[in-house]
Amino acid sequence: MIRTQVGIVGAGPAGLLLSHLLHLQGIESVVVEARSRQYVEERVRAGLLEQGTADLMAESGVGERLKREGLVHHGIYLRFGGETHHIDFKSLANRCVVIYPQNKVVADLSDARLAAGGRIFYEADDVSVQDFGDANSQTRPRIRFRANAQPQEIECDYIAGCDGFHGVCRPSIPEGALTVYDRIYPFGWLGILAEAPPSSDELIYAYHERGFALLSMRSPEISRLYVQCAPDEDIHEWSDARIWDELHKRLATADGKWKLTEGPILQKGVTGMRSFVVEPMQHGKLFLAGDAAHIVPPTGAKGLNLAASDVLVLSRAFTEFYASERKEPLENYSKTCLRRVWKAQRFSWWMTSMLHLFNTDNAFDRRRQLAELDYVTSSRAASQTLAENYAGLPME
Ligand code: FAD
Ligand code: DHB
């Protein structure tokens, strides 16, 4: 039996950052992860950090590589009707964002945890959580699993469910204790990673009659590009040539001067899109953080950033509890997080609605979307709203 203060399920960004922040406060944790370290560190996912997330990494001592390799962006481009409009975060919100891939965030955090003697069980099988239901009970919660075919048990004061949308923690909470709010979108994104220098200094979000497209990047050598597709799109139907052809069409400018640089496609995949929130984000001695509690459609680039703000709130609540036995911040965890979560949900839904074609759309809806884009790019108030939400609302 292993004894610790906080048992953490999941070694994604939420679980590792929580473990790291707790360690800095002298609070012990053990992390249990279903996949291998290599799998977790190679998984291609998000790529954009709000300034607050990048600052949190730097202030907590895991920002060295981020500082060296992160690409600081001061705005984004919105492209529609073949015209390009810049939204300048610096002048509108005095903030920036940083391009830095999620797998590097995860690698930096796991390096830091392991270097500090932190315990992470990778490739854990049959993970389950028990005895967490009553916040005032003397019984301690447990995480059970098998590692190298051996049964293991962690006894802890609290459990943090950082195990993503398909994890085990949220479904372990008794039915009826949680309320789900969700929306599924009638499209997905087909994303590629290409060995091609990015064709733009900053991200381009393109509204087009063939569907949305996004040009992003991972480094000065690697582009990340997405096109709106069917939610159940068969990736085998998409040859590399077809993907590039679609990207050229959707990202084209009216004057034909802008060029998209192609390169070998290193990875491709389809992601479905949904909005999902569970309330409350806690039950007894179990706290849900990150994708375990909420999912956003990727258009606003909020998923990873919300995971970071959840665990910042949770780490502060644990710090307060272990320093002075004050339980109030823990009791208010969900309430504190949900205010920011819902604003990020609203923003992600709004960006998604403005930029994608919906199968119910008619000519009226298209004109309305174009009017919205025109307004956002011509009114300072509207572009400021976009800038302050995109670059990130305050963490607490
Ligand atoms: P996760 O990163 O999902 O980590 C959860 C961890 O828990 C995983 O390592 C998982 O293996 C582990 N786990 C699961 N079940 C168990 C179990 N039973 N026991 C133990 N461990 C378990 N966001 C963006 O902003 N932009 C993007 O482009 C973008 N692209 C995405 C593409 C995909 C395919 C997906 C799935 C998500 C994407 N996201 C994107 C969202 C973003 O990556 C997530 O919001 C972010 O990873 C949340 O971090 P997390 O730590 O909460 O969850
Ligand atoms: C990326 C993904 C997003 O969803 C987004 O809005 C911006 C960038 C990316 O993967 O780089």
pLDDT in tens, 166-189: 999 999 999 899 999 999 999 999
Residue 109 CB: number of other CB atoms within 10 A?
25
Mean pLDDT, rounded, for 14-39: 98
Burial of 259 (0-12, 13-18, 19+ CB in 10 A): exposed
Give the model's pLDDT for residue 286.
98
The ligand minimizing its distance to the Cα of 203 is: 2
Q: How far apart are CA 356 and CA 206, in angstroms?
A: 9
Which of 282, 290, 293, 323 is CA-nearest to residue 5? 323
- What is the secondary structure of 264-280 as a DSSP string? -EEEEEEEEEEEEEEES
Q: How confident is the model at residue 44 (pLDDT cuts 50, 70, 90)?
A: confident
Give the model's pLDDT for residue 118.
98
Is the CB of residue 338 below 6 angstroms from any atom belonging to ligand 2?
no
Question: From the CA of 111, how far away is ligand 2's center (Å)?
Answer: 25
Residue 54 has pLDDT above 80, yes or no: yes
Give the model's pLDDT for residue 233.
96
Q: How confident is the model at residue 274 (pLDDT cuts 50, 70, 90)?
A: very high
Residue 396 has pLDDT above 80, yes or no: no
Residue written as tokens 């490739």? 123
Q: How far apart are CA 396 and CA 385, in angstroms?
A: 18
Residue 359 has pLDDT above 90, yes or no: no
**For the chain, how many residues are written?**
396
Residues 6+ apart with CB under 8 A from 290: 10, 12, 13, 14, 15, 162, 164, 303, 306, 307, 310, 311
Average pLDDT across the chain, whole number: 97
Is the CB of residue 354 below 6 angstroms from any atom belonging to ligand 2?
no
Question: From the CA of 33, how far away is ligand 2's center (Å)?
Answer: 25
Question: From the CA of 215, how far away is ligand 2's center (Å)?
Answer: 8
Is the CB of residue 297 below 6 angstroms from any atom belonging to ligand 2?
no
Which of 393, 395, 390 is CA-nearest to residue 78? 390
Residue 105 has pLDDT above 90, yes or no: yes
Residues 6+ apart with CB under 8 A from 68: none
Residue 245 has pLDDT above 80, yes or no: yes
The protein residue whose alpha carbon is closest to atom 5 in ligand 2 is 301
Residue 238, token pair as written in the block: 């998409």
Which residues are designated catalytic?
A: 73, 205, 298, 302, 390
Residue 269, token pair as written in the block: 């995949």
Is the CB of residue 348 below 6 angstroms from any atom belonging to ligand 2?
no
Write the pLDDT tens digit of every residue in 57-99: 999 999 999 999 999 999 999 999 999 999 999 999 999 999 9
Residue 364 φ/ψ region, left for φ over 0, alpha for ψ in the -120 to 50 degree band, beta for the rest: alpha
Which of 393, 392, 395, 391 is CA-nearest to residue 76? 391
**Eight-class DSSP state of 174:** P
The ligand minimizing its distance to the Cα of 302 is: 1
The ligand minimizing its distance to the Cα of 276 is: 1
Residue 256 has pLDDT above 90, yes or no: yes
334, 38 Cβ separation under 8 angstroms: no
CA 63 to chain centre: 18
Residue 221 has pLDDT above 80, yes or no: yes
Mean pLDDT, rounded, for 264-287: 97
The ligand minimizing its distance to the Cα of 33 is: 1
Residue 207 CB: number of other CB atoms within 10 A?
22
Phi, psi for residue 210 in degrees, rounded to 5: -90, -10
Give the model's pLDDT for residue 385.
98
The number of the ligand 2 atom at minimal distance from the alpha carbon of 298 is 4
Is the CB of residue 301 below 6 angstroms from any atom belonging to ligand 2?
yes
Q: What does each C-alpha distance from 360 to 63, 187, 353 come to in angstroms?
A: 45, 12, 12
The number of the ligand 2 atom at minimal distance from the alpha carbon of 303 is 4
Is the CB of residue 101 below 6 angstroms from any atom belonging to ligand 2?
no
Mutate which of 17, 45, 144, 302 for ligand 1? The one with the most ligand atoms within 8 Å of its CB, which is: 45
Which of 224, 249, 205, 135 is CA-nearest to residue 350? 205
Question: From the CA of 218, how far away is ligand 2's center (Å)?
Answer: 10
User: Regarding beta strands 204-206 and 75-80, do their DSSP bridges make them parallel or antiparallel, or are they unpaired?
Assistant: parallel
Pocket of ligand 1 (CB under 6 A): 9-15, 32-35, 40, 45-46, 102, 124, 127, 162-164, 166-168, 271, 290-291, 298, 301-304, 307
Question: From the CA of 226, how far away is ligand 2's center (Å)?
Answer: 9
Residues 6+ apart with CB under 8 A from 18: 6, 8, 29, 160, 162, 289, 311, 314, 315
The protein residue whose alpha carbon is closest to atom 9 in ligand 2 is 47
